[in-house]
Amino acid sequence: MVIDPNALPAVMEGWMRAIATSEPFEMVFPLRAGDGSFHPFLSRVQPLKNGQGTVLRWFGTNTDISEQKRVEERLQFLLNELNHRVKNTLATVQAIARQSLRALPAENIDTFQDRLMALSRAHDLLMQGNWEAMDLREIVRQSLAPLYAKRPDDRLVIEELAVLIPADRAASWSMALHELCTNALKHGAFKTDGARSMSSGVCQSKDGCTFAGASMAARPLPSPGTAASARVSSKAWGANWRAART
């Protein structure tokens, strides 16, 4: 068995640690294969102990995982390409919207751009998590980042629970939280210095999870347009969350 010289120090460190602790050894490193080239091998070694826990001998295997590595690299390449294309598409949509909507009031354009950026941030989270289930805490923190930036004080309180949100529903959660933040800044708890706090959290029971969000309103009702957009997002959000529970 010939180990790649570049990997030898790390292999020896791991092997000596396994001997010192009498714990199993597992590591992927290059070994010279039958054709003379170095291939990635998964090495697993188990200690065989007597009744007193003393290691009598070690038993292990080396498995050539070259094909597995090639598949993983191909999948990673495709995922990176997908992420690149999605980001380019969002940038294109942003540019088209800027040109198409330039006759509208600036506030309308800014609202659309902010929503597009919220969608982009949700995509960034999914990309970092390899498009797997997302921790709700990360979605909340990412979605509330603009609110923290505009109101860097102690009036924002987040009560969180560790809940995994399916990847295909993470964007809906992110967008709904974005709408709550926008409403809080424009019409709710953070419109004036008089309002004290906004809190949100997830409560869990045997029947599932419920999201709770509340803010102290600075005026009785938001504008009709904002209320409508909040209702639409809330409906989509609730439907996705119910689906995630089933």
Closest C-alpha to 111, from 216, 225, 188: 225
Can you give the pLDDT at residue 167?
82
Q: Mean pLDDT of all residues in the chain?
A: 74
Domain ranges of the chain: 8-64, 69-245
The answer to whether 8-64 and 69-245 have equal CATH topology is no
Can you give the pLDDT at residue 30?
93
Can you give the pLDDT at residue 134?
79
Closest C-alpha to 180, from 208, 135, 146, 138: 146
**For 168-192, how does the pLDDT look when each residue is reduced to its tens digit (9 = 90+)?**
888 888 888 888 777 777 766 666 6
Report domain 69-245's class: alpha beta
SS (H, E, C) 20-75: HHCCCEEEEEEEECCCCCEEEEEEEEEEEECCCCCEEEEEEEEEECHHHHHHHHHH
What pTM was estimated for this model as a whole? 0.53
Helix axes 106-128, 66-100, angle to 10 degrees: 180
- Residue type at 174? S
Averaged over 135-146, what is the pLDDT?
77
Confidence bin at 229 (pLDDT 50/70/90): very low
Rounded CA separation 243/168 (Å): 11
Confidence bin at 84 (pLDDT 50/70/90): confident
- Residue type at 186? K
Contact yes or no for 47/66 (Cβ under 8 A): no
User: Taking the alpha carbons of 185, 191, 193, 197 in that order, is the dihedral positive or negative?
Assistant: negative
Can you give the pLDDT at residue 7?
92
Can you give the pLDDT at residue 99?
83
Can you give the pLDDT at residue 189?
61
Query: Which CATH number is 8-64 given?
Result: 3.30.450.20
